[in-house]
Amino acid sequence: MEVKLNKEELITWLRTISGATLLSVSIVGQLDTLETNITVPSILASSLEQDSGFLGSGPYLVKYKLTPEEQHQDLSYETFATAVTFKVELKREPGKYIGGYNRIVKIASKYNYISRIKREHYGVVGFFLISLPANPVELEELKNDLVENSIAYIFPDGTGTINHGNLKMGKALRT
Q: What pLDDT does 143 receive? A: 96
Average of per-residue pLDDT across 12-19: 70
The per-residue pLDDT for range 94-140, each reduced to its tens digit, is 989 999 999 999 999 888 888 888 888 888 898 888 889 989 999 99
Query: Do 117 and 126 contact (CB within 8 A), yes or no?
Result: yes
Please tell me the pTM assigned to this model: 0.60
Q: Provide the 8-state DSSP code for 170.
A: -
More confident site: 166 or 17:
166
Is the confidence at residue 32, as pLDDT, over 50? no
Confidence grade of residue 163 (pLDDT, cut at 50, 70, 90): confident
Omega prior to 59 cis, within 30 of 0: yes
The per-residue pLDDT for range 33-88, each reduced to its tens digit, is 455 556 666 666 766 666 555 566 667 676 666 555 544 445 566 888 999 999 99
Interatomic CA distance for residues 7 and 49, integer angstroms:
9
- Residue 69 makes CB contacts below 8 A (sequence gap 6+) with none
More confident site: 4 or 51:
4
Is the confidence at residue 154, as pLDDT, over 70? yes
Going by their DSSP bridges, the two strands 167-169 and 97-98 should be labelled as: unpaired
Confidence grade of residue 30 (pLDDT, cut at 50, 70, 90): very low
DSSP string for 74-90: PPPTTSEEEEEEEEEE-
Interatomic CA distance for residues 59 and 141, integer angstroms:
42
Report in angstroms the alpha-carbon separations of 1 from 21, 28, 63, 69, 132.
Answer: 11, 16, 6, 18, 33
Which residue spans within 48-147 are E strands per DSSP?
A: 60-66, 80-89, 97-98, 113-120, 123-131
Interatomic CA distance for residues 148 and 25, integer angstroms:
37
Is the confidence at residue 26, as pLDDT, over 60? no
The per-residue pLDDT for range 139-153, each reduced to its tens digit, is 999 999 999 999 999
